[in-house]
Amino acid sequence: MTNITLLMPTDVIMDENEKATNPEIFEGLIKGKLSVAVKQLEAGDYLLLSKKGELPILVERKTAEDFVNSIIDGRIWKQSATLKKIKERGEALPVIVLEGNLSYTLEKRKISETAILRTIDELVLNRDIPVIYTLSKSSTISWLIAKARSLGNTKEKTVFIYNKKKAKTPKERVLLSLSIITGTQTARKLLTKFGTIRNIANLTVGELMQIEGIGEVKAKKIYELFNLNYDESIK
């Protein structure tokens, strides 16, 4: 995985795209008295740091809807292959957190329970990636806090080092500007498909959802940010 600059011991590194679309999880981790850094991760949504000599835990968080969608479009296999490679390189131990009401999503998307079970079977038994179920976003926050604490005291955890590059070219500045709203990985995908920030700002929620990794919830949040009416009287 890409090494990351941390100026102080940290419990959790949260992917910047995950932070942009789920700020309440970031706030929950802070309220749980964890030290949290926000950086771009190569894969996954959270990196739970551990003591020196022990592997960190790389968490890929998926809502029930996103999990089902990733099975339908095949995205889960590409993502899990990346997670498996990270484990094989001895960089982190991957875990998938499956969040929410899976039964409701199955009925809504008209996908068989067998397809879900086969996918979980493949992930756990053949790709050696544990799948942990949480009932809700608050349950996920509770699990992240408990797991991070189980990996040791903050001061004992490994500090990552990363040489951060500055945006030098106009192209890099455009990517950086959009990344503030969407996160780097999503920004790169959007710019590759739609070309300019102007084009992206004019997209509908449905058009945003055409991009791999952007579900309905994320698309709505990006759309809302681009269409937010700035008012200094509103805090």
Nearest residue to 208 (alpha-carbon basis) of 176, 181, 170: 181
| pLDDT of res. 1 | 52
* Torsion from C-alpha of 16, 22, 27, 32, nearest 10 degrees: -90
- Burial class of residue 215, CB neighbours in 10 A (0-12, 13-18, 19+): middle
Whole-model pTM? 0.66
Strand runs labelled E in the chain? 12-15, 36-39, 46-48, 57-63, 93-99, 131-134
* CB-CB contact of 100 with 64 (8 Å): yes
What structural domains does the chain harbor? 12-156 (3.40.50.10130), 170-226 (1.10.150.20)
Taking the CA atoms of 35, 81, 18 and 60 in sequence, report the sign of the dihedral they define: negative
Q: Cα–Cα distances in Å, from 197 out to 124, 133, 215, 226? A: 40, 37, 20, 10
- Give 89-144 pLDDT, tens digit per residue: 888 899 999 999 887 677 676 778 888 899 999 999 999 999 999 999 999 999 99
Tokens of 113: 């329970």
Q: What angle in degrees, to the nearest 10, is found between the helix axes of 113-121 and 64-72? A: 90
- Give 196-221 pLDDT, tens digit per residue: 999 999 999 999 988 887 888 888 88
Tokens of 174: 């455009």
| pLDDT of res. 34 | 92
